[in-house]
Amino acid sequence: MGMGVNVRHQIAARAAKEIKDGMIVNLGIGMPTLVSNYLPDTMGVMFHAENGVLGSGPAPKKGEEDANLCNAGGLPVTVVPGASYFDSTMAFGIIRRGLLDVTILGAFEVNEYGDLANWIVPGKIVSGMGGAIELAQKAKKVIVLMRHVDKKGNSKIVERCSLPLTAKRSVDLIITDMAVIQVDAKGLTLLEVMEPYSVDEVIANTVAPLTISEEVTSVSVKG
């Protein structure tokens, strides 16, 4: 059940379909950063970074980095026409006012109510929870990208999160290497199954109760 480069890109490509023209979007570190690679150039999307950029663009070419311009993870970025800069107070003001249309985050666990655990595995050293709490609580749509199971084969979609929570009842959509699952007041609904998996395999690898949509489809996304 390894997570090859292709699978990461397949998940990112599927997530990109949730983004529409004119949206303000925040991408978390890791797999979510790949999502921008799958948006058409014609699409006017403004990417928001907690350190104070609205309109960050792709990574610069080697030798063209600007030491003063990076994303929230500290990696060099470019900006698109119409971009603006501000301090982190304003960046978090944008999040807390609910102005972000979509935030795409990684996760360790999500439960059947959309509770999110994505900031610490006890005993591991981390740099802190960053903006994840505000992003998960306040964005209009919260999408989680992750492997369906962990390295030991245990489901990451659980009935109760065992790890410290980032935010309760926050996740709207889960996209994994196996499935696309909607989260709402009724619980979890399986919308799409990623090739080459079957509905039965998704159910077998999901600990939390799963309702199967009547329109469930099989999806092939080329990463």
Looking at residue 129, what is its pLDDT? 79
Least confidently predicted of 114-128, 144-158, 160-174, 180-194: 114-128
Mean pLDDT of the chain: 93
From 18, 50, 109, 112, the catalytic residue: 50
Looking at residue 74, what is its pLDDT? 84
Mind listing the pLDDT tens digit for each residue in 14-58? 999 999 999 999 999 889 989 999 999 889 999 999 999 999 988
Q: Is the dihedral of CA 176, 170, 217, 214 positive or negative?
A: positive
Mind listing the pLDDT tens digit for each residue in 92-125? 999 999 999 999 999 999 999 999 999 998 888 7
3-state secondary structure 86-111: CCHHHHHHHHHCCCCCEEEEECCEEE
Domains, the chain, ranges and CATH?
A: 5-219 (3.40.1080.10)
Is 50 among the residues known to form the active site?
A: yes
CB neighbour list of residue 103: distance below 8 Å, 6 or more residues apart: 25, 26, 27, 28, 135, 136, 139, 141, 142, 143
Give the pTM. Answer: 0.93
d(C-alpha 190, C-alpha 113), whole Å: 14
